[in-house]
Homo-oligomer: A and B are copies of this chain.
Amino acid sequence: MTYPTLAVRLPDWLEKFLSRAERTYPTVDERMRLVIELSRLNVENGTGGPFGAAIFDMRDRSLLAAGVNLVVSGNCSILHAEIVAMILAQAKAGTFDLGAEGVGPCELVASAEPCAMCLGALQWSGIRRLACGARGEDVERIGFDEGEKPPAWVDALERRGISVVRDVCRDEAVRSLRDYRECEGMIYSPRR
């Protein structure tokens, strides 16, 4: 029996886009607008659903790594935007801990609140701060599922030393989700 492998990498359009992107993002609104733009471009380029994420090094507000949802194009239900960004940020930093000495502190900026899996992953990543655009209910309103999260997940993250900022450019983030629904994007969802 031979075993397959999976190469996690950004789509070509995104590598090109990032090579032209600004190098620093001083405000959280600028950082959020980048990931909302990625959520739109991911749909336009046909590489996945309307979700973007990025991880910033908060020492100089520079982009450490970006991610988009690659579930369908990558044949992999794990490849949510946040997970892709975490995998690539850790590969770049050469450590499984983005809170290790010499790295960060790091912020995860996500165009929508993380699902149950991404929330769990955040706790193991070493990231110190989360900024979200659309709310979980905005995501569910267009037909996606957030999964079973702990009821007070924001408090739970804060208790673990991860600060949370919600509703950053929420209207713009919601618009990207709505535009996706209106063009009848494929909503991959697990059977219940």
Contact = CB atoms under 8 A, between A and B. Distances in A.
A120 B126 contact: no
A9 to B, nearest CB: 4
Contact of A77 (B63, B90, B115, B191): B90
A36 to B, nearest CB: 20
Given A3-B15, A7-B5, A8-B5, A120 B147 contact: yes
Given A5-B8, A9-B5, A88-B3, A96 B77 contact: yes
B7 A77 contact: no
Interface residues of A, number: 62
Contact of A88 (B6, B10, B18, B145): B6
Interface in A71-85: 71-72, 74-78, 83
Contacts of A124: 71, 77-78, 115, 117, 147, 190
A74 to B, nearest CB: 7
A125 interface: yes
18 contacts: A1-B63, A3-B18, A3-B92, A4-B65, A4-B91, A8-B8, A75-B94, A76-B96, A78-B121, A117-B120, A117-B123, A119-B148, A126-B190, A148-B150, A148-B156, A148-B157, A148-B160, A160-B190
Interface of A: 1, 3-10, 15, 18-19, 23, 63, 65, 71-72, 74-78, 83, 86-88, 90-97, 99, 115-121, 123-126, 145, 147-151, 153, 156-157, 159-161, 188, 190-192
